[in-house]
Amino acid sequence: MNNSKRISNKSLQRTIRNIIASTVASVTIASQSAQACTSFLIRTTDNSAVYARTMEFGFDMESSALVIPRNYKLTATGTGGKPGMSWTGQYAAVGMNAMGAAALVDGMNEKGLVGGILYFPGFAGYADPAKSDPAKSLAPWEVLTWALTSFATVAEVKAALTDISVVNVVEEKMGIVPPVHYTLHDATGDSLVIEPVDGKLKVYDNPLGVMTNSPSFDWHMTNLRNYLKLSPVNATPLKIGSETFAPLGQGSGMLGIPGDPTPPSRFLRALGYTLSIEKKPSGPESVRLAEHIINNFDIPKGWVRDKNQGSEPLEYTQWSTVADIASKVYYVKSYSDPVLRGIDLKSFDLDANGLVSAPLTPAMTPPALAFPKP
């Protein structure tokens, strides 16, 4: 792929060290609202799929690329310093973490199960840890890691959800219980949304493959009924008496699609893209196609802010990922270094004894263009 690099086990640190800049948050995370994450799935002509998402926050998430090997033992976080659920992962997984944790906030496993954690403020409600079995309890930020290391398909995850509780646990560095929900997709193209509400897990099959943030997924599905006439096909000219009114340029079929960065509007735009694009084979063509779509949801610093923002850090797209399910290559690019770089899961020793991680560091200077001599 042009401008893309595959990362081996030995060169992970070196190749992706120039992905993202670090910032220092001057306020607690509790005061920040990350409401701009966007995710989607596109189908390929060879019956596979490519997944992509953005990750927005105002403070530095301290994200690293992370590879979890097979048979790695993991223990969830309980309240009061006590452990929660323990399990041994069956499958290797690659993705991004946050806050230095050995947990994925986005990722893909060796069987092609892929997904992410997205913010869900105002609606997330977890189980009471005092009323939950610690041996079956997961903190909100550990659900995705449990799913990716334990299951091969969406159906398997769905069947196992009755065996866990997602409990109200404060993330130490954030100082809050992060309000989140989860999106999952597999190699068959099946998609699932999991939302913790009122202490229970609400589970939705997701035929659209798209998810953003609040409100709940069923609300977004209902909201689609307000946009039934949107189409990638240009509108036909309107004739009134002797006058004919033709569209002003291309794209008239999408006239009225919301362009603001709110979750409902991003949901609609993401769906518009995924339904209208020309399908490509798995590999570079579909990866680039997903990258072009995800670029439309990039938020530069200053595009969204509170009225009394003051000196608090501005929310922005810290990084975006694209996962090629067929090739098992996971790509990432960042605000500071928007070059898509690939981590080939197949190039790692998936039976290794420990985690492989690489912190993301800044590369603010654009590379020089090299022109051939005349």
Pick the catalytic residue: 7, 16, 29, 37?
Answer: 37
Contact predicate 172/81, CB 8 Å = no
CA gap 59, 98 in Å, rounded: 11
Does residue 7 contact residue 348 with C-beta atoms inside 8 Å? Answer: no
Q: How far apart are the C-alpha atoms of 330 and 116, rounded to whole Å?
A: 13
- What is the identity of the amino acid at 367? P
37 is catalytic: yes
Is residue 278 within 8 Å of residue 292, measured between CB atoms?
no
User: Which of 332, 335, 304 has the alpha carbon at shortest distance from 32?
Assistant: 304
* Single-letter residue type at 75: T
Q: Is 171 exposed, middle or buried (0-12, 13-18, 19+ CB in 10 A)?
A: middle
| Cβ atoms of 16 and 338 closer than 8 Å | no
User: In the chain, how long is the greatest CA-to-CA distance?
Assistant: 78
- Is the link from the previous residue into 215 a cis peptide, with omega within 30 of 0? yes
Other CB atoms closer than 10 Å to residue 92's CB: what's the count? 25
Report the C-alpha gap between 286 and 51 in whole angstroms. Answer: 10
Structure tokens at 248: 């002003």
Residues tagged active-site: 37
